[in-house]
Structure 1
């Protein structure tokens, strides 16, 4: 106590003599100490007089705020951050105006380092008080992060906006998505954020009149088009279907771009019925503006017909495309303002519908599908089939021994004066491929309907029969030619005309010319797989049963698929998984995961990030944490992105207090101990305290 009093007394003496000269200080044994203190006091007093802050006081709030504002105006971000750090240590977080001004300044900075600092600042403020953050500044930061190809921080900021209960600015959200979808990870996150945005507000709507809150999203179809197209580009089948269902629930009026993208989704999944239903809706229009956009739709539908090995439907569609060139033939009368996209079977109550305006197209949205076209091409403003499409039709008819369909197709085009395909080219290409009986069948069908073919096709077939040493067919065709020779314009017969004369023409006068159609046939025949349509048909049946929540029928179909040695695809398991998920059958999903895992190990199944992500979500909902960590480990081993934010959100929503007080559990069984261990592992991985 005495020493404390002496120290205070000496400090008081120091203050009294601060104005005296250093030489006048008394030396009573403590002279050096007093002299040093006086010098220090003189320095401090001179400095504090200019800054008006005492040395033992912290800088005032107003001083630090002025320093932050001044540094930001001068563009001195380092100084602003330093002052901000001092303010936070001394006084906590500043008022929202200063905080959001800091975030905005960092968002407009050109360095990625400043963007990261802004993101870190948002995370720290969000943990303390989310109400201090402004939606506008957060949206600008998210856009800046997305533009700089930082999709994970960008999605996190967007999710913080959603947690605050605010709807993000949809125009800026569209721009952010445009940057995010350039990468696979960004595309996955954009799809998740869009789904979470829709579900966040749909979940709080109890009356359809409250849907007006979603009008900004409902009226911005570009938002959905951007994400849907990225789902197609990165093969995110589950996410694409979910986005389309949400469009139906919200009531989004789609445009022509949406028609194109949804048709590609249906093609990716193998949903031919939905494409055919869409065609009926399109056919009901009196005219088709933006015809170049519908080229994508017809290309997808024709591709589906070929994949299902349905040559009758393919031939009919090709005829429809030719009729499209004749106004008023293809479309019925009466203009409809809207048409419909059916999602799921129209026979199911669980189906969804998206209305689209055929006169509406967002020209600011550039559809990146130029390299997609292969079956339907646009020539002089008309949609026509390509040579590749014709080759696929010929191969399909020949392999299915369904030459009547091909002949009827050629006859219809001739009778309706729909020029574009020469029967002669088709016959000669079949002859060059060695399909002589197919060529002969087409000749007979054309001959029976009175369509002139010309001697050259008969001669080419005769030559091929002779080369193949098929004497019976050769002689039969010679006799056939003799009977109809008088009707051929390019043969002028007389009394001396004999079969021998024709045989001479075969050998000498008619050279065989190889066409481009023959080259296309050779190329397409190499890729022809007659068993592909069986996989599609089984998958489509499984999808129907899963949508109808008839899981027993879906599993029976899957068993028949295996019995017929047809290998299941990723789509097969996606359909079954989504069916189980819609019915909260999480235990059955654990069994399904075992089947998926075995096929992955044997290399019978391609690893799909969308499928694994859906598995993690369902195991989290069901509380199967050992499976959660197993799938997460599998994703990590294959360098797939694991969305910690989403998984953590699901855990906190459903299992927030699960084993919270782990130490209070006594006499635990071995199963309980393992479960607690897996929960702890997930908490540690997800960063949940």
Structure 2
């Protein structure tokens, strides 16, 4: 008020003479106004105060010369000095004063101010920089340089502020520009360190790919500047694995195919983990033929791939396939230098996604030999089933326990013996010599005496009988359990292979056998993945977990639904789904996700609303643990189909579960599809009650998304 009153008094022509004194006004950030009067050449005279209007400058002219001119310059100077002295508080306050009086300062100063804020390590000032960019972006006459925005995006990402970082990046994307690829690497690398950042980064990558695909279809030269590379895909895919976002990971894999980005060795390992999480055994088997012929130097890198494929064989209860894989990965590879790879090793090979018979099916390009040395990705996979020993991939005790228990469950002891014999030959330098004795000792400890005996007989038939200690372990176990008949049969076998001289010797030996016979006291050998105590413990654990394991039938049915949904054969997919309900098998998140994707590919959004009813019933009965991936998939499809009541319903569930929702993505989707929906229609103008309710839901969504 004082500032306005001072201006009004000082510029009133009834009190001021233009030749009697000079008016100087200085305005600081606290609006402290100082007025300096200096005498003219004729001195100060009272008669000069009141004079005729014709001797005075016009009001507007005087304001421009005395007020605007000096204040404008003073404020600009103060902003520049504050930035030089790194006084961001003072610079921000003065900047706001200037903006209130004159609007934005010149383009160079605004850019400099944003840059200075970007160099701050304080989240407070970084957020201020983001806010300033958002305000400036609304001014049509302003165009901030991409390098300035790139600096801010990277600073926000480093400060673990993925949401404002993505906001600025999306602004650039709308203008069809992106930061340099090396800056994007760093931005994504910092974003994917958190779950929220991973959600934002994956959605960003989807948007970038959508722009790229659209520009390619339009044959625009902008496409070359927007294509993401393998590194960015790897960073996002790896984050999807770490935060169990497998459905989003599947979407990213398909985008690699659509954009023509080549998958390298790192990509294949991460893709394998995503397929394992989704139960896509058939998808993973397609990669095996391209990986099996790789030379020895690359074998260790694909330990994770074989881990995932073997795990899926066990989940599907396909013991024969699991055993075959273990033997195949251990078969001697021709050891030749890495430099002697096939001449066309850099030429991509194509792996189908979904059915190989689909005419317009997707195919991802892979180069299994390609290992990028400058990769910023540090993949951390599990090593539960496969170990790397002596330049070979060997089964761990956990894997052996699963195989032994699987063969026992199916009554295939003869096949187990054949497998162990083949594995022994492969592991001759990696612990294979003690393999049979360790397995038999573990079976004896668990009371599986018949199985141990069958394995001994199979070894005899193969012409490779075991040593005396193994026979004595089983013999002792027979006599302790008063199984003299079986013990006598074993004694005859021992005599037949020349292990004892006469019956009396045998009885003496068996009666005086120490208590710990059959319980190997071997210590863990670091050079071998086969160790009796660990194997026995693994068997105990496997027996316990097998009772709680998900039924293999569920994996089979889900695979069928996935296959039919990818082929857009929703009638067949629905039949499988109905069969699951008849069999009282509870559908999983993946079951519903595959059905939603199938309906979405045909734009059958109404069918998704019907499926949503089944999903809610499953949640209410606590038979389904929902994921943010499935919620996001439903939300996007309901928005595309215009089912705003369902949209708000899903948003409510996500809020209740404290799940992050990427508002920008759904806001953009709304503006792309429903921009003019009910724009001028008022509630009082609704023709029916249903239309009135829909209008209310649309308004609720627009309010939530921040759409004016």
- DSSP-derived class of the 1:383 partner: strand
Aligned match of 1:114: 125
- DSSP-derived class of the 2:152 partner: helix
Q: Is the 8 A contact 1:577 1:589 kept in 2?
A: yes
**Cα distance 1:24–1:169, how it changes in 2: closer, same or farther (>3 A)?**
closer
Q: Is the 8 A contact 1:322 1:418 kept in 2?
A: no
1:430 counterpart = 2:440: no
TM-score (norm 2): 0.84
CA distance in 2, matches of 1:333, 1:175: 32
**Cα distance 1:348–1:460, how it changes in 2: closer, same or farther (>3 A)?**
farther
CA distance in 1, matches of 2:310, 2:332: 15
Q: Please list the CA deviations of residues 407-452 of structure 1 after superposition, one character each: whole Å capped at 9, or x if unmatched.
A: 1112223456745332121122112111222222222222222121
User: Which deviates the most, 220-229 or 357-366?
Assistant: 357-366
Aligned ranges 1:500-539 → 2 under 5 Å = 500-509=504-513, 511-514=517-520, 515-516=532-533, 517-529=535-547, 531-539=550-558
Aligned match of 1:40: none
CA distance in 1, matches of 2:170, 2:354: 30
Residue 249 of structure 1: which of 237, 246, 258 is its match? Answer: 258
Aligned match of 2:474: 461
The CA RMSD measured in Å over matched residues stands at 3.2
Aligned match of 1:221: 230
1:259 counterpart = 2:265: no
Q: Is the 8 A contact 1:170 1:216 kept in 2?
A: no
Aligned ranges 1:240-389 → 2 under 5 Å = 240-285=249-294, 287-324=295-332, 327=335, 334=342, 336-337=344-345, 338-365=348-375, 367-370=377-380, 372-389=382-399
CA distance in 1, matches of 2:199, 2:13: 71
Q: 1:347, CA displacement in angstroms?
A: 3.2
Q: 1:577, CA displacement in angstroms?
A: 1.4
Q: 1:151, CA displacement in angstroms?
A: 1.1
Q: Is the 8 A contact 2:118 2:152 kept in 1?
A: yes
**Cα distance 1:569–1:130, how it changes in 2: closer, same or farther (>3 A)?**
farther
**Cα distance 1:664–1:382, how it changes in 2: closer, same or farther (>3 A)?**
closer
CA distance in 2, matches of 1:193, 1:8: 58
Q: 1:223, CA displacement in angstroms?
A: 0.9
User: Which deviates the most, 305-314 or 65-74?
Assistant: 65-74
**Cα distance 1:666–1:519, how it changes in 2: closer, same or farther (>3 A)?**
closer
Q: Is the 8 A contact 2:304 2:381 kept in 1?
A: no
**Cα distance 1:293–1:217, how it changes in 2: closer, same or farther (>3 A)?**
farther
Aligned ranges 1:158-177 → 2 under 5 Å = 158-177=169-188
CA distance in 2, matches of 1:334, 1:198: 32
- Structure having the higher helix fraction is 1
- DSSP-derived class of the 2:625 partner: coil
User: Which deviates the most, 66-75 or 609-618?
Assistant: 66-75
CA distance in 1, matches of 2:683, 2:426: 85
Aligned match of 1:611: 630
CA distance in 1, matches of 2:400, 2:590: 29
Q: Please list the CA deviations of residues 577-596 of structure 1 after superposition, one character each: whole Å capped at 9, or x if unmatched.
A: 11111111111111111111
User: Which deviates the most, 548-557 or 8-17?
Assistant: 8-17
Q: Is the 8 A contact 1:238 1:610 kept in 2?
A: yes
CA distance in 2, matches of 1:637, 1:363: 44
Q: Please list the CA deviations of residues 23-50 of structure 1 after superposition, one character each: whole Å capped at 9, or x if unmatched.
A: 9748xxxx9xx89xxxxxxxxxxxxx9x
Q: 1:293, CA displacement in angstroms?
A: 1.9
CA distance in 1, matches of 2:12, 2:356: 91
Aligned match of 1:103: 114
Q: Is the 8 A contact 2:238 2:379 kept in 1?
A: no
Q: Please list the CA deviations of residues 559-590 of structure 1 after superposition, one character each: whole Å capped at 9, or x if unmatched.
A: 22222222222111111111111111111111
- DSSP-derived class of the 1:437 partner: helix
Q: Please list the CA deviations of residues 636-669 of structure 1 after superposition, one character each: whole Å capped at 9, or x if unmatched.
A: 1111112111111111111111111123863521
Aligned match of 2:563: 544
CA distance in 2, matches of 1:138, 1:14: 48
Aligned ranges 1:51-66 → 2 under 5 Å = 54-57=65-68, 59=70, 64-66=75-77
User: Which deviates the most, 369-378 or 565-574?
Assistant: 369-378
Unaligned runs of 5+ in 1: 36-48
Q: 1:95, CA displacement in angstroms?
A: 4.4
Q: Is the 8 A contact 1:315 1:405 kept in 2?
A: no
- DSSP-derived class of the 1:162 partner: helix
**Cα distance 1:195–1:23, how it changes in 2: closer, same or farther (>3 A)?**
closer
- DSSP-derived class of the 1:117 partner: helix
Aligned match of 2:193: 182
User: Which deviates the most, 79-88 or 109-118?
Assistant: 79-88
CA distance in 2, matches of 1:249, 1:552: 26
- DSSP-derived class of the 2:216 partner: coil
CA distance in 2, matches of 1:522, 1:664: 67
User: Which deviates the most, 317-326 or 519-528?
Assistant: 317-326
Q: Is the 8 A contact 2:456 2:465 kept in 1?
A: no
Aligned match of 1:38: none
**Cα distance 1:427–1:663, how it changes in 2: closer, same or farther (>3 A)?**
same
CA distance in 2, matches of 1:108, 1:647: 31
CA distance in 2, matches of 1:503, 1:632: 76
1:670 counterpart = 2:692: no
CA distance in 1, matches of 2:174, 2:44: 68
> How many pairs align?
650
- DSSP-derived class of the 2:138 partner: helix
TM-score (norm 1): 0.87
**Cα distance 1:474–1:562, how it changes in 2: closer, same or farther (>3 A)?**
farther
User: Which deviates the most, 75-84 or 623-632?
Assistant: 75-84
